[in-house]
Structure 1
Amino acid sequence: MTTATAPVTGALTAPHRLRWLLRLHRPALYVWTAAVVVLTAALLWLGGPLTDAAVHAWRQYDVCRTGATCVYDQDAILRYKDVYQYTTWAVLALPFLVAAWAGAALTGREVESGTAHLAWTQGVSPARWLAAKLAAPAAVAAAGTAVLVALHRWAWLADHGGIDTAKSWSSFETYYANGPLPVALALAGLAAGALAGLATGRALAALAWGMSATLALWGAVHLAAPRLYPAVTRTAGLDHDGPVGSGIVLDSGIVTADGRHLPDPFCGSSAYSTCQALYERIDAVGFFSVYHPRSHYWPLQLLATAPVLAAAALLALAAFVLLRRRTQGKAATA
């Protein structure tokens, strides 16, 4: 009769533990490496040949708008748009991929199968086991995500204003894919998945909870961060077509004579008689807009990233505390 044994990781040196972890999670490492390589190639293609072709096509289109008889490369414009969308959302999906793997494979599957408990009885403490589990994946996830975020920002800047339909800095997907938040979310997803795996002891449940926690954290930061930094308030006369000021808009509408802020009726300029009558009826004197201009980009990014990194640290700490309580309880009853 033979007994399955787990590696005595506590007796191994750091390089041996790293090799053991890489061997244990080799399929996940292959998938992650393939994703990073494919996205890197796609972003280099986007910021190089695709951007050049799209800029050239837009120049052709601008000539056509003057009335000259000509053709332009519409396919190049559409190809740029499609690849930009696919790569942007792929970068934003990376933290959820990390969270799913951390919950399903990193801790959930090993607790469910009993492999973790077997390792704890063969020379490695639970805390050391979890630390070894988190350290290398954290470095790999952070490094891969950071490279792709940097390439995405480079590809987005490559058009130099030559693509009329290029996404603005404040569009939801571009705003997040161009900054450090995906890196912080990847680390938070790793910690959330690991905690979920330890808490549920089920791979599938941990996968769902890890991804849900990452999504909830992102949603909370998205709602809170723009309101933690002072926004710009800009007013305009009723002769404009509506509120002015571009960026991340928090509020906009109509200003009345007594200073009240009302929702924008989306009528347009007071030059139109119907709009003028409407504005007189509600005693409107102008438009207002509360927004963050482009100069606020990095303060907002840092305000969003810092609490996510703090949440990642707290989630990791919670995983260690939970593991300690559960293993101490089992040791006491043994």
Structure 2
Amino acid sequence: MSALTAPHLNRWLIRLHRPALFVWTVVLLGLGSALMCLWGPLADASAEAWQQHYACAPTGPCLYDQAAILRYKHIYDYATMAVLAVPFLVAAWTGAALIGRELEQRTAQLAWTQGLTPTRWLLSKLTLPAALVTAGTGLLVLLHHGMWWASEGRIGSAKSWYDPPTFYAGGPITVALALAGLFAGAFAGVLLRRSLAALGAAVVAVGALWAGVHQALPHLWTPVTGVSSLESDLPVGNGVDVSTGLLTADGERLPDPFCGSTINPQCERLYDRLGAVSWYHDYHPLSHYWPLQLTASAIVLAVAALLALAAFRVTAVRTRGLS
């Protein structure tokens, strides 16, 4: 039987996973079109409706295109969730179809008998998907980022930049997570060798990684501190929250008792008893957007590299006699 080379395998993979390529293309075209509409006509219609709303008299009937506002809001939410779902879909497909099923049905072992080593087989399986996942997810993230910035200051119901779904869907963290999902699926596939088990493990791994990044994000960069009077209900400063509380005259930080401003006599007595003189708020302003994005992305890419290394290591150990 003739040897199966990497180029032959690539052509075979394209034929084998043609349905997945078709679905990925449909996802990119459909979701990309939705994001472009949010960037253009849907944003324009919503912005015009908000201008009509702002121009309404305080009394009397107010006529504005509420449907345009709600349409933009709903499509924005759905499109954002779809972008955020990509890393999970990549992990599920890689664990179940790309790697797990091949080992479970022993078609991978057949390839290994035709002149292709297990490690080269795994490399060939992952190279093209990694390129397609990076390019496709990167395109969606760029469109989402541009779409959000186009709405800033024009649409009253637009999400803030630090809204978690908006923050992640419009930045490179999601691209890094998609790659991590690919390699998590590969690792789960070669480790478990069962499609459904690998699917579940890969999806759980992406969820755990994302949760860890979200918890660590506020601490990946040095925050700024805003100080404000206790006459305010809340500390000043909008952005990614790190911590809030009370400051005493000697600079000691106290936890927020969630009482409110000193306009309330009960709160004023409480703050006097604690010796508090002002609020403090540690947070990340808009200027920290890219430092947070890039630092978190680097961490996720490092985890993705470790998952890829683990997948190749497990493959090499389990097939040592075949290499």
Question: What is the TM-score of this pair, normalised by structure 1?
Answer: 0.92
1:126 and 2:118 equivalent? Answer: yes
Deviations 1:85-124 (A, max 9, x none): 1101110110110000000011100110111111101111
Cα deviations by residue, 1:210-265 (Å, 9 ceiling, x for unpaired): 11111111122222232121111121111222211110011001123453323323
Deviations 1:2-26 (A, max 9, x none): xxx9x8432x6x3x44322110111
**Residue of 137, 140, 146 corresponding to 1:145:** 137
What is the one-letter code of the residue matched to 1:172?
P
Distance 1:65 1:147 in 2: 43
Matched with 2:160 is 168
Further displaced range: 154-163 or 257-266: 257-266
C-alpha distance in 2, partners of 1:294/1:87?
23
Q: 1:187 and 1:76, CA in 2 relative to 1: closer, same or farther beyond 3 A? A: same
Judge conservation of contact 1:242–1:266 (CA < 8 Å) in 2: no
Q: 2:30 aligns with which of 38, 42, 56?
A: 38
**Are residues 1:29 and 2:2 paired?**
no
What is the alpha-carbon distance in structure 2 between the residues aligned to residue 272 and residue 308 of structure 1?
46
- 2:91 paired with 1:99: yes
Q: Which range moves more in the overlay, 196-205 or 309-318?
A: 309-318
Matched, 1:225 2:217: yes
Deviation larger for 292-301 or 262-271: 262-271
Alpha-carbon separation, structure 1, partners of 2:265 and 2:213:
43
Separation in 1, partners of 2:203, 2:186: 11
The answer to whether the 8 A contact 1:111-1:117 is kept is yes
Distance between the aligned counterparts of 1:215 and 1:244, measured in 2? 33
Give the AA of the match of 1:9: L
Amino acid of the structure 2 residue aligned with 1:227: H
Query: 1:65, 1:230 → 2: CA distance?
Result: 45
Q: For 1:160 and 1:209, how far apart are their aligned partners in 2?
A: 39
1:256 to 237, 248, 252: 248
Could you tell me how far apart the structure 2 residues matched to 1:195 and 1:53 are?
46
Aligned residues of 2:220 and 2:296 also touching (Cα < 8 A): no
Q: Distance in 2 between matches of 1:197 and 1:65?
A: 63
Structure 2 counterpart SS, 1:9: coil
Could you tell me whether the CA contact under 8 Å between 2:117 and 2:322 is conserved in 1? no
| Distance in 2 (alpha carbons) for counterparts of 1:198 and 1:311 | 17
The amino acid across from 1:309 in the alignment is L
Instruction: Write the deviation string for residues 185-230 of structure 1: whole angstroms up to 9, x where unpaired.
Output: 1111101101100000100000011111111111222222321211
CA distance in 1, matches of 2:269, 2:15: 74
Aligned twin of 2:71: 79
SS in 2 for 1:64: coil
TM-score (norm 2): 0.95
* Seq. identity, %: 55
| Alignment gaps of 5+ in structure 2 | none
Aligned-partner Cα distance in 1 for 2:64–2:272: 47
CA distance in 2, matches of 1:221, 1:65: 46
Q: Contact between 1:188 and 1:309, CA under 8 Å: does it hold in 2?
A: yes
Task: Indicate the residue corresponding to 1:113 in structure 2.
Answer: 105
Instruction: After TM superposition, list the pairs within 5 Å mapping 1:1-334 onto structure 2.
Output: 8-10=3-5, 14=7, 16-67=8-59, 69-328=61-320, 330-331=321-322
What number of residue pairs does the alignment pair up?
323
1:107-146 per-residue CA deviation (whole Å, 9 max, x = no partner) reads 1001101111111011111111001000000001111000
The letter for the 1-side match of 2:291 is: P
CA distance in 1: counterparts of 2:3 and 2:57, whole angstroms: 72
Distance 2:159 2:187 in 1: 37
Deviation, structure 1 residue 266: 3.1
Residue 50 of structure 1 contacts residue 76 of structure 1 at CA under 8 Å; is this kept in 2? yes
Kept after mapping to 1: 8 A contact 2:101/2:193: yes
| Inter-partner Cα distance in structure 1 for 2:154 and 2:60 | 20
How far apart in 1 are the matches of 2:3 and 2:48? Answer: 61
Q: Distance in 2 between matches of 1:169 and 1:160?
A: 9
TM superposition shift of 1:65: 4.9
Residues 1:264 and 1:65: Cα distance change in structure 2 (over 3 Å): farther
Kindly report the root-mean-square deviation, in angstroms, between the aligned alpha carbons of the 2 structures: 1.7
